[in-house]
Structure 1
Amino acid sequence: MNHHTIKRLPVDTGRSGWEAISTRRFPMQTLESDVRADWLIIGAGFAGLSAARRLSQLRPGDKVVLLDATEVAKSTAGRNSGYMIDVPHNLASGEYSVADEKATALEMEQNRLAIAFAAEAAAEYGMSKETFDPSGKINAAASERGLKFNRNYAASLQRIGEKHELIDLKQMREITGSDYYLGGLYTPGAVLIQPADYIRGLAHGLGSKVNLYEHSPVLELTRQGKDWKARSNRATVTAPRVILAVNGHVESFGYFRRRLMHIFTYASMTAAFSPKEFGSRASGADRWALLPADPMGATVRKISSSGLSRIVIRTRFTYDPSLQVSTKRIAGIAAEQRRSFDARFPELQRVPLEFSWAGALCLSRNHVPAFGEMEEGLYSACCENGLGTVKSTLAGMMAAELATGTGNRDLETYKDQPIPSRLPPEPFAWLGINSVIRWQELRAGREG
């Protein structure tokens, strides 16, 4: 497979609220003339930018080119809920962990390695607390079933010596201003990011070390002697080593076909509102972040700046192997989110949802990444298994270390995994996966 024609490019539906309120601090450039480099990275999301930063550390004299099909922070990386989570988070199973304690401890160690790498970048590039906030998160329970999940989760954390705190109904009301929640479980290791600001801050910080070209999709990738040549709309990049950091679109390059599940999730962000207008009781503290006790429920975050606040709500999952969804579906799910929002914050019913969007996830049936050297000089750092902020950061780091021959225990442990397992043929996969997702969402009940 020395020649790849890429016919399917990213399609992003709806404008992410995170990107809409983000500020870009660097000019855009597209690939207009042929370039030769030591490294080519395809994809400027968490994995691609993390790989670029790690290469700048390991090979500071090398020329690194980064191509992105769209615009930094407008695609998948700027569309997530903004949680960098250290504790296991497995959406494919409908649970937070499906592994034994030894495997769970290893996953936490790897997640924390990625978070530490991101924290160093945030400090080096002067990111604000609004962009990168190591404040922890709460698993919020809105039902007796959710409370049971939290108690079981707390017991698991207790067994492996992890810090946590159970939060009662009164405390949840004080934090969120909502009577909807019965309790919560706080864990301190998560970092809350403004994902679009973080990605743009990372790209800006790397500006002097990496040549970034946006709106420059790779249309063909061909092996020519010892080099790879990537053709974009107007020009080419030639490099001996290439890192694919395109998440589920690695299938579009011909790899891991029929082994990846392409899942979309959906979010809405309110217009900015003044808490003083509604009273502090209406939405609680200035900033808080809730994950659902049942992972298939609703993720809810409140952010505040300059006296104004916004609330983001994320619900629903769908399996879409076409890697795109319609505006009609987003509108329908946004209406569901409106009802879910109003149930939690009845005093904010006249605050409109200003932005609604879809974001792509990539999962494998056996919960492993699409990682490794695919052909000579061509590496994959893809398939984040539903926690792209952390796992894609880690994949980018590890791909850079693998490609440079930087051996260490973390890399040896990370790459010691099987490949993603094969999916059933269509339409059986579509019917089966969407049926399981919908059943898990219905089972989540009031948590959604």
Structure 2
Amino acid sequence: MYVAKKFPRNDSLSAWVGLLPARQARPALSSAVTVDVAIIGAGFAGLSAARRLSQLDANLRVAVLEAGVVGEGATGRNSGFIIDLPHEVSAEDFGDTSTERARRDITLYRSAIGLATDMAEQYGWGREILDPCGRYSVAISAKGDAHIRTYAQQLKGLGESHEILDAQGIYAVTGSRLYTSGLYMPGTVMVQPAAYIRAVADSLRSPVSLYENCAVLSFQKQAGGWLLKTREGSVSAQRIILATNGHAQSFGLFPSQLLHVFTYASMTEPFDPRRLAGKRDWAATPALPMGTTVRRVSGADGDRILIRSRYSYHAGIEINDGHVQSAGRVHDGKFADRFPGLLGLKMQYRWGGPMALTWNSVPLFGEIEPGLISACACNGLGASKSSAAGIAAAEAAMGLKSPLVDILSKYDSPKKLPPQPLLSIGAKADLKLREWRAGRE
């Protein structure tokens, strides 16, 4: 029997949730039901799996069990990049990656984009939910400029579309004089993550059922499948897809294999778009790993800037307001550097969100034991990697030998982590070193 020792806790309010009307959550399970597949978790992985299962068999009975309210967990704390290309704009990181591995990653990421864009077209979602605007990578130093040029050469070798921008070119996009160069990649899709995941959830139709505020307390093997128990109900299922990312460890799974890292973001109050030059909607990742991600988001009440930076390790999978406020002070400095013309503009929202990493950056994907399939360990890039893992988990649950299942099944096994307290000491030191290397980026 796998018994949950704890459940996800989210104290700070993500801007993406705060900017939406309060959600009317689906009722929790209050009876005993029987399904073909039970999915634990209604984030990128879980709902992508549910969508894919319904495509594969419209008559398949599926129960999706979400511990909280859809969009208010880790997914709604994401920055909203569903990228299509390897993330790091870095000679070191990309240079060690073979062309074969790059193409494999691109296949995974584009499966996530395909799922999202197909739904947007089918249901008529607007750009306030999904915007196929591409992304920029931006530099503020000679080192960052060099990494952008190197990465552009790698993209050229892969035959991938891109455009290098000089300082004036990236200023025309961002309105920031700090950036010294940029690289535009058109394939990324940007989402309002809380709005997107709500829309995916609300698109599900019978015989797929979604239960919110419905934490799974335990699950165990039984004749013919699995039995999952919630506070007021139970589910008998032939198969389970575990889409809980780092919280899989709360059930006692993957001991000594997961690193729990939080990243942080702040978003401004709205401002008159005439105060800042450049485009009104754009998204940029940093040239150097562990640098600063920035988005400008337009709205009816004005525009807002998102700043994402700072990482911290927490073995207990929880942070507090002090961690969020500490990161927020860093964000304030990053914002002031990039947008001095917006002096006096305050941050309205600050929040943190968890990532689940393995030491060698491999996913925890596949059949743990018969009928129990994992789609965990996003290793960052949750919108892309977790969505792809969810699609592949659905295909694996149906016995398909698809390209995605093949790719995810061929990763190395995760390396075992050092014991505590060495793990905490090493993880925190490594994050500090990486942030130091990123510098002002």
Q: What's the CA shift for 1:16?
A: 0.5
Q: 2:414 aligns with which of 406, 412, 420?
A: 420
Q: 1:8 aligns with which of 6, 11, 18?
A: 6
Q: Structure 1 stretches of 5 or more lacking a match?
A: none
Q: 1:167 aligns with which of 165, 168, 192?
A: 165
TM-score, normalised to structure 1, is 0.95
Taking the aligned partners of 1:314 and 1:211, their CA distance within structure 2 comes to 34
Q: Partner letter of residue 193 of structure 2? A: P
Are 1:322 and 2:316 counterparts?
A: yes
Q: Deviations over 1:214-233 (max 9, x none)?
A: 11111111212223111112
Q: 1:386 aligns with which of 380, 390, 399?
A: 380
Q: 1:353 aligns with which of 333, 338, 347?
A: 347
Distance of aligned partners of 1:94 and 1:434 in 2 relative to their CA distance in 1, 3 Å threshold: farther
Q: What's the CA shift for 1:133?
A: 1.2
Q: Is the 8 A contact 2:25 2:69 kept in 1?
A: no
Taking the aligned partners of 1:23 and 1:204, their CA distance within structure 2 comes to 15
Taking the aligned partners of 1:354 and 1:39, their CA distance within structure 2 comes to 41
Q: Partner letter of residue 394 of structure 1? A: A
Are 1:68 and 2:66 counterparts?
A: yes
> How many residue pairs end up in the alignment?
441
Q: What's the CA shift for 1:193?
A: 0.8
Q: Is the 8 A contact 2:91 2:151 kept in 1?
A: no
Q: What's the CA shift for 1:101?
A: 1.7
For 2:84, the equivalent position in structure 1 comes to 86
- Choose 234-243 or 26-35, whichever is displaced more: 26-35
Taking the aligned partners of 1:46 and 1:416, their CA distance within structure 2 comes to 22
For 1:139, the equivalent position in structure 2 comes to 137
Q: 1:397 aligns with which of 382, 391, 400?
A: 391
Q: Is the 8 A contact 2:220 2:227 kept in 1?
A: yes
Q: What's the CA shift for 1:347?
A: 1.9
Distance of aligned partners of 1:90 and 1:67 in 2 relative to their CA distance in 1, 3 Å threshold: farther
Q: What's the CA shift for 1:367?
A: 1.8
For 1:53, the equivalent position in structure 2 comes to 51
Q: What's the CA shift for 1:354?
A: 0.6
**Percent sequence identity over aligned pairs:** 40
Q: 1:106 aligns with which of 104, 107, 111?
A: 104
Taking the aligned partners of 1:396 and 1:316, their CA distance within structure 2 comes to 27
Q: Partner letter of residue 163 of structure 1? A: S
- Choose 30-39 or 243-252, whichever is displaced more: 30-39
SS in 1 for 2:439: helix
Distance of aligned partners of 1:307 and 1:6 in 2 relative to their CA distance in 1, 3 Å threshold: closer
For 1:22, the equivalent position in structure 2 comes to 20
Q: Deviations over 1:140-179 (max 9, x none)?
A: 0011111111011111111222111110111121211111
For 2:440, the equivalent position in structure 1 comes to 446
Taking the aligned partners of 1:90 and 1:132, their CA distance within structure 2 comes to 23
Residues 330-341 of structure 1 mapped to structure 2, 5 A cutoff:
330-341=324-335
Q: What's the CA shift for 1:87?
A: 1.1
Are 1:342 and 2:331 counterparts?
A: no
Taking the aligned partners of 2:252 and 2:50, their CA distance within structure 1 comes to 23
Taking the aligned partners of 1:273 and 1:381, their CA distance within structure 2 comes to 40
Q: Is the 8 A contact 1:95 1:294 kept in 2?
A: no
CA RMSD, 1 decimal:
1.8
Distance of aligned partners of 1:14 and 1:96 in 2 relative to their CA distance in 1, 3 Å threshold: farther
TM-score, normalised to structure 2, is 0.96
Taking the aligned partners of 1:219 and 1:349, their CA distance within structure 2 comes to 49
- Choose 212-221 or 92-101, whichever is displaced more: 92-101
Q: Partner letter of residue 350 of structure 1? A: G
Q: Structure 2 stretches of 5 or more lacking a match?
A: none
For 2:125, the equivalent position in structure 1 comes to 127
Q: What's the CA shift for 1:90?
A: 5.5
For 1:39, the equivalent position in structure 2 comes to 37
Task: Find runs of 4+ consecutive structure 1 residues off by over 6 angstroms.
Answer: 91-94
Taking the aligned partners of 2:89 and 2:167, their CA distance within structure 1 comes to 26
Are 1:115 and 2:113 counterparts?
A: yes
Q: What's the CA shift for 1:56?
A: 0.6
Distance of aligned partners of 1:251 and 1:173 in 2 relative to their CA distance in 1, 3 Å threshold: same
Taking the aligned partners of 2:330 and 2:50, their CA distance within structure 1 comes to 39
Q: Is the 8 A contact 2:3 2:218 kept in 1?
A: yes
Distance of aligned partners of 1:13 and 1:145 in 2 relative to their CA distance in 1, 3 Å threshold: farther
